[in-house]
Amino acid sequence: MRTRHVVRLSATALALAMFVGTSIPAMAVTAAKENAATRSKPRPNPFLAAEAYAVTHFDPAQTDVMPYALPRGTFHVDLRKAPRVQAGPISIMTLATPSPRYMWAASSGGVSYVDVSDGGWREVARLPDPDARPLPAGLLDKILAEPLDDVARVEKAVKTDLALDRKRISANIYVVSGKDGVLYATNRSAVRAYGLVDPKRPEAGIKLLRTIDLKDRLTAVENAGGVMLNMTYDGHLVVGAAQSIRVLDRDFKPVGDAFQFPEGEIVSNAMAVDEKNGIYIASDKVMRKLVWTGKTLSRDAAHGAWESAYDSGQTPMPSVKFGNGTGSTPTLMGFGDDADKLVVITDGSDRMKLVAFWRDEIPAGFTQRPGTKSNRIADQIQVTCGLPGSTPYVQSEQSVVALGYGAFVVNNIRPKGVADRLVDVLAGGPALTPAAGAERFEWDTKTKAWRSVWTRNDVVSTSMVPTVSGPSRIVFVNGYTKADGWEVTGMDWETGKTVHRSIFGQDNLGNGAYALIQSLPNGDLLFNSIGGPTRVKYQATAK
């Protein structure tokens, strides 16, 4: 996020450019046009409200690809003056509804219905989370306006001023927006369904339609961690937890038996779903494909299910990340007639690797790669982010961004952290110097192998989930530097060069805290701040 751009392109790309006498930017433009024309996408799930933004990580494949463009340029933004739905402190994302005029805003404080028509951003209805004691009006905004530049101050804000507990911050992290106008959301061991009191008059309010609390069916570890959510292509809800996974119908009736993970395995991230109802979920030791048959959750190879060990870590990370295994939600890569169908994660090593697994049948004649734990692993490659070999941790709590056969990962593990992860994520930046580093990879369908395209050892991504604009071919992160404060930084997908900066300054509203970066159809930024989802309009001239 500094003005100095340290971009390292692969030796192959540099050599090719020199050989043909073409500059890297010119090559990138050509490649971008070709890739944009041929890139395949996950098949739309007919039971979701929209093709994109209807589930955490944007689509069932968990690609983190935004369907709308964002502009290039440098913009100085005062978030206090931008239209915002006051919510938080975790505002994971804002979801599509069946009507393009409205969106659901999901935050740890509750759910809102937002009118986004004609460039607007107006909350028309709100329902506070039933289990969370509501914050006094204006308190969160007041605290976020104060400097949070040392850990003690952050701890006081979290534990004393806001009195935040697990109930207050665990609601609505995993969300699904259905085609029938119902929002499904998690809160610890429960799944809830929300709807409008009167769909023809959204201002009449939001109501809780039904709840299923799985507490009695979960272990103590699972109840402490909460549940995760996605939707199959036949309209069933997939509910994951730390030691099990199960399927519910949309009326919350369990269907089939739950699958229990073997003793000693823990899951800390959600799952991806493919168009044939393959369900991809990773514990801290094993990557699995289970298959929803329409009646049962199968682990039978005859149905296409499989499992493979991967490399995990020995000790918990000192900051940001949860657990010893992968920090990423499995991401699908390759759709339709694409040559290779993969599921991708980062592993749990202190210096992580990018790992691709064959989703379906392992190609005939494929030989297990050296250093991998099974021939189910198509390839794995060391992630360096251009950082020195002495860097103790190159790791992430964020999912892999996947555009076509391209993948993007960040390093956001600080050597120094705080055990309370909410304190940790708010302190990362002003109080604790954040980690830096990002890297872009490409899967080669001819060699069946990864290659590194570029690295950035100067880019900061604190904890927000990186996302990529498909139309703009820009990948975005949210981070902090002492010089400029908080910002959203966009890097060209082909070259790694910084081509977008939305600079928010020192205001803590610029911290996205585990949320996702989004774009809107007219090219506005949808920034899911710890102070609530905010619409950033790019009307000023870029500098």
Predicted pLDDT of residue 476: 99
Whether residue 426 is predicted with pLDDT greater than 90 in this model: the reply is no
**Of the ranges 5-9, 101-105, 417-421, 443-447, which one carries the lowest mean pLDDT score?**
5-9
Predicted pLDDT of residue 413: 85
Tens of pLDDT, residues 189-212? 999 999 999 999 999 999 999 999
Residue 419: what residue type? A
pLDDT bin (cut points 50, 70, 90) of residue 20 is very low
Tens of pLDDT, residues 508-536? 999 998 899 999 999 999 999 999 999 99
**Of the ranges 112-116, 339-343, 422-426, 492-496, which one carries the lowest mean pLDDT score?**
422-426
Tokens read off for 175: 């969300």
Most confident of 404-418, 425-439, 481-495: 481-495
pLDDT bin (cut points 50, 70, 90) of residue 318 is low
Quick one: average pLDDT of 340-359?
Answer: 97
Predicted pLDDT of residue 12: 34
Q: Distance between CA atoms of 465 and 487, rounded to whole angstroms?
A: 14
Collapse the DSSP code of 334 into the 3-class scheme (helix H, G, I; strand E, B; otherwise coil) and give the result.
coil
> What are the C-alpha distances in Å from 24 to residues 31, 72, 116, 541?
10, 18, 39, 27
| Higher local confidence (pLDDT), 396 or 540 | 396
pLDDT bin (cut points 50, 70, 90) of residue 384 is very high
Quick one: average pLDDT of 431-445?
Answer: 95
Predicted pLDDT of residue 320: 57
The strand pair at 467-469 and 65-66 is best described as: parallel
Whether residue 291 is predicted with pLDDT greater than 60 in this model: the reply is yes
Residue 388: what residue type? P
pLDDT bin (cut points 50, 70, 90) of residue 40 is confident
Q: Distance between CA atoms of 240 and 464, rounded to whole angstroms?
A: 22
- Least Cα distance to 12 among 36, 39, 31 occurs for 31
Predicted pLDDT of residue 10: 44
Predicted pLDDT of residue 322: 67
User: In angstroms, how far is the first alpha carbon of the chain from the final one?
Assistant: 16
- Least Cα distance to 237 among 176, 304, 170 occurs for 176
| Higher local confidence (pLDDT), 95 or 398 | 95
Fold of 7-362+371-536: Methylamine Dehydrogenase; Chain H (2.130.10)
Collapse the DSSP code of 93 into the 3-class scheme (helix H, G, I; strand E, B; otherwise coil) and give the result.
strand
- Least Cα distance to 488 among 95, 496, 498 occurs for 498
Quick one: average pLDDT of 382-393?
Answer: 95
Tens of pLDDT, residues 219-276? 999 998 899 999 999 999 999 999 999 999 999 999 999 999 999 999 999 999 999 9
Predicted pLDDT of residue 23: 33
Tens of pLDDT, residues 117-163? 999 999 999 999 888 777 888 899 999 998 888 999 989 988 888 88
Whether residue 24 is predicted with pLDDT greater than 80 in this model: the reply is no
Predicted pLDDT of residue 402: 98
Predicted pLDDT of residue 261: 97
Q: What is the DSSP letter of 59?
A: S
- Asked if 367 and 381 touch (Cβ cutoff 8 Å), the reply is no
- pTM score, two decimals? 0.92
- Asked if 343 and 280 touch (Cβ cutoff 8 Å), the reply is yes
Helix, strand, coil shares, percent, the chain, to 5: 15, 35, 50
Q: What is the DSSP letter of 140?
A: H
The fraction of the chain above a pLDDT of 90, given in percent, is 75
The values of phi and psi at residue 364, to 5°, are -60, 135
Tens of pLDDT, residues 447-500? 999 999 999 999 999 989 999 999 999 999 999 999 999 999 999 999 999 999
Average pLDDT, the chain: 90
Q: Distance between CA atoms of 382 and 353, rounded to whole angstroms?
A: 4
Quick one: average pLDDT of 341-357?
Answer: 97
